[in-house]
A and B are shown apart, each in its own frame.
Chain A
Amino acid sequence: MARMNTAHAVDFAPAGLESVETVEVTADLLIIGGGNAGCFVAVEAAKLQPGITTVILEKADIRRSGACSAGMDAINTYIPKGKTPEDLVRWSRAQVGGGPLREDLALSNAYELNECVDDLERWGLPILRDEEGNASYRGKWDISIHGEQLKPIMAEKALESGADVYNRVVATGLLMHDGHCAGAMGFGVRDGKFYVFRAKATVISTGGAGTLYKSYTADSTDSGAQIWMCPYCVGSGYAMGFRQGAELTSLEQRWVATRSKDFCGPIDTISVGYKSAIINAKGEHVMDRYKHLGGDAAPRYIRANAPMEEWLAGRGPCYCDTTRLSPEKAHDLLVDYLNERPSFVLFLASRGQDVTKEPIEIYGSDPYIVGGHTGSGFWVTMERMTTIPGLFAAGETAGGNPNKFVGGCAAEGKLAARGALAWMKTRSLAPLDAAQIAAEKARVYAPILRRGQDGIQPVAMKERLQRLMDEYAGGTSQYYRTNEERLDYALRHIKMLQSQFAYLTADSLHMLMEAHETMDRVDVAEAVVHHLKARKETRWAGWQTRMDYPERDDVHFDCFIESRRDPETGTITTFTRPYEQLISGDRQKA
């Protein structure tokens, strides 16, 4: 076991950069973010190359970090008997309205998928099974689990693999050499030290970006983070790669989901798994309006947008009709919640709500950038290498390949580990570049060296960004809609925010982390807005709605939207890449 010790945060008040200690760590393989995908990278690397030195760099503690912190109640994708990996890709394709998606990536993931889920079961994850021992399917592809311990289980295996785990170290930037990735830099949020991690190959698995948009439940006092995605995954991985010129794909395909109103609780569980219909204020079945698109089984973005359209048409509020559930089924439902989002059970109790008597109200979530759900993320090769040589991506950070979820992020962790190992064979550690390290160190500590001075609180800039994105870049308050002028407005103000990074102040290490999270959010938001601008059509209403281009335009936009930032000038360019259908069949159907 190689969990590096952590302790209370030190009182950190450096007089200058010289008094901040720099720690250098070298490894064969560096994993940034020890979440679901990151843990699988470590396990696979140790299995394929015993004796390999692996470092996991993690801002939290890998036992409870990222999306899986609270647990899970399902594995959303597990290929049932009689179905093939190709069938799974067909389903994934239909879920994103026929694509575009990277069918090559999706298929390779699908081939690895079941084995990863079986790994989890061997490691101790309870998977619910019927009398014959078959996994119990909730919908077509998702199986029920008791996943309260899912993250601790994955973390134990990552630790057993021999990886050195640096918890409470926040990655801030990539270490570059000759256009290649040579590791990463960051700071200890407890010890205040500056860390330089040098590695032959680096996998970035920092999860997605929640918190770019204002959540409608964010009141001015205590409720700022009751969102669906992990609010501590703020897109730092995308930001670090983008700043060094890595290509991003499909950021305009934002993920929005129907969730319980006022507290982002799971709804797919009830509407799919417990066959509780979505109804509007008049008691009408909302999805009947979408029969031609699949009705209750319509693609996710249609299901996410449908209740919002009801509100707009004056037929809200909407509900998930749980009143037909038997008491036993309702109990099972609450157990599912306790495995995944336990505080939702507390929320229901706080409303004094018996779900068999009163249906659960639903609403759209705030938008997220999550490549484990939609196609947003780094453009990668089959080896999961980004356009920066030596930098690999897995899970929510890797783009083009939606509907990965727990099993798919694990599978991609394995694939990225193999890609990284193959790359490493021909590489040695890159020499250290003192100027680059000094520049990042100065950037990292600037807000805390400005402590006590007049300036900007990180939280204030975060909230400025969130409201800007909500109102101008298609957030919940705007029913996800936007247009060219609003997006231009958003970009102008994002530039203002970037020009004011220099005034951010931090009084503590925790606040210093907040300052970097905020800067990362702003940089990712800039990319998101460029993507939304570039797709001048409406392909996935709800996920991506252009009021000025309300129709789908296959002639011009049946392709990927890509972006790249010039690391020297900061100029962002967008361009397209063609979609290639590899798996036969009607793209809209599964």
Chain B
Amino acid sequence: MPPIIDPNKCNGCAGRNETFCEEICPGDLMALDATTGKAFLRSARDCWDCMSCVKACPRNALETRIPYQLGYYKASLRPIVGRNTITWKCKDIYGKETTFKFANRIA
């Protein structure tokens, strides 16, 4: 059902023809709401949870959440995209945090 958009962080990628999330979503599911100036998700049921939008957002305004029908409230997984690495911070429903970091490109 993801992603959830934090309206305080999202600035609609002001000044761009497209928001980063709308540019990248393989399902054409992200768009800009002209009245609020923020990104929105067209259809939660069609999201594959590939997290491309979350990785692309420069303001960390997007968060993937597993649909409640499948997973309990509330866990989080956040990617931090580096130059040739990616770091993931995961928190489970009991608050246990784990960090993963690995190279995703040959430097």
Chain A interface (Cβ < 8 Å from any Cβ of B): 5-9, 59-61, 63-66, 69-71, 121, 124-126, 146-149, 153, 168, 189, 217-219, 221-227, 230-232, 262-263, 331, 334-335, 338-339, 342-343, 345-353, 510, 513
Contact = CB atoms under 8 A, between A and B. Distances in A.
A345 B49 CA distance: 11
B28 A222 contact: no
A380 to B, nearest CB: 26
Contacts of A349: 71, 75-77, 90-93
- Choose among B24, B44, B66 the residue with the greatest number of A CB atoms under 10 Å from its CB: B66
A306 to B, nearest CB: 24
Majority secondary structure of chain A interface residues (helix, strand, loop or mixed): loop
A223 B46 CA distance: 8
Contacts of B76: 346, 349
7 contacts: A64-B56, A226-B49, A230-B26, A346-B49, A346-B65, A346-B90, A347-B70
Nearest to B12: A8
B67 A221 contact: yes
Nearest to B34: A8
A224 to B, nearest CB: 3
A222 B26 contact: no
A64 B92 contact: no
The residue among B27, B48, B68 with the most chain A CB atoms within 10 A of its own CB is B48
Main secondary structure on B side of the interface with A = loop
Given A8-B18, A346-B76, A335 B67 contact: no
B66 A343 contact: yes
Interface of B: 1-2, 17-18, 22-28, 31-32, 42, 44-52, 56, 64-77, 79, 86, 88, 90-94, 98, 100, 102-106
A223 B69 contact: yes
A230 B48 contact: yes
Contacts of B2: 343
B72 A342 contact: no
A345 B77 contact: yes
Contact of A69 (B1, B22, B48, B90): B48
B75 A6 contact: no
A121 B47 CA distance: 30
A153 B105 contact: yes
B66 A352 contact: no
Contact of B26 (A61, A125, A126, A146): A61
A69 B103 contact: no
Given A59-B28, A346-B64, A346-B76, A8 B17 contact: yes
A66 B52 CA distance: 12
A352 B93 CA distance: 5
Contact of B94 (A8, A223, A331, A352): A352
Contact of A352 (B1, B67, B72): B72
A96 to B, nearest CB: 27
Interface centre among A218, A226, A231, A350 (most CB of B within 10 A): A350
Contact of A342 (B74, B88, B106): B88
Given A59-B28, A222-B1, A334-B100, A217 B70 contact: yes
A353 B96 CA distance: 11
Nearest to A62: B26
Given A335-B100, A346-B49, 16 more contacts: A69-B48, A69-B52, A70-B48, A126-B104, A148-B86, A153-B105, A219-B67, A230-B48, A335-B102, A338-B102, A343-B49, A346-B65, A347-B71, A349-B77, A351-B72, A510-B31
A342 B66 CA distance: 11
A263 B64 CA distance: 14
A134 B104 CA distance: 19
A221 B44 CA distance: 8
Contact of B44 (A9, A222, A231, A262): A222
